[in-house]
Amino acid sequence: MVTGVELRCCGCSARVRVRGTTSESGAVQRVLVNGQEATPIDKDLTQWQIEIDATAGAQELEAHAEDAAGNVERRPHVVVIPLAPRPRAA
């Protein structure tokens, strides 16, 4: 489950920090957000985070967990966030 999204500016590019939690019956092996592997905050991935590149306009984030047995979450969590274009320097 996605629990937070934060826009971060890094120099001339924008990044989105995504945080979330998992609550599976088995051991979670990994969490993917838009195909990229999230970093565990807790060693068992009950809390995780990732930073991904942001683009102007609507940004769709899709997160799902995979367990140690290779089972993939059937319904990924999808969040759409609106991102305004960055203002140009004068």
pLDDT-derived band at 69 (thresholds 50, 70, 90) equals: confident
- The answer to whether residue 79 sits within a structural domain is yes
Query: Is residue 9, in this structure, part of any structural domain at all?
Result: yes
88: CB partners within 8 A, 6+ apart: none
Q: What type of residue is 14? A: A
Q: Looking at the domain assignment, is residue 27 inside a domain?
A: yes
Q: Tell me how many domains the chain contains.
A: 1
In this prediction, residues 33-48 reach a mean pLDDT of 89
- Opening angle at CA 39, ends 72 and 61, nearest 5: 60
Domain holding 27, by residue range, is 2-83
Domain for residue 30, yes or no?
yes
When pLDDT is averaged across residues 25-52 and rounded to a whole number, the result is 88
Q: Report yes or no on 88 lying in a domain.
A: no
Question: Residue 49 pLDDT > 80, yes or no?
Answer: yes
The overall average pLDDT reported for the chain is: 80
Q: Is residue 90 one of the residues assigned to a domain?
A: no
The pLDDT score that the predictor gives to residue 5 is 74
**Is 89 a member of any domain?**
no
Q: What is the structure's pLDDT at 60?
A: 87
pLDDT higher than threshold 80 for residue 1: no
pLDDT score of 70:
86
Is 8 within the bounds of a domain?
yes
CATH number, domain with residue 20:
2.60.40.10
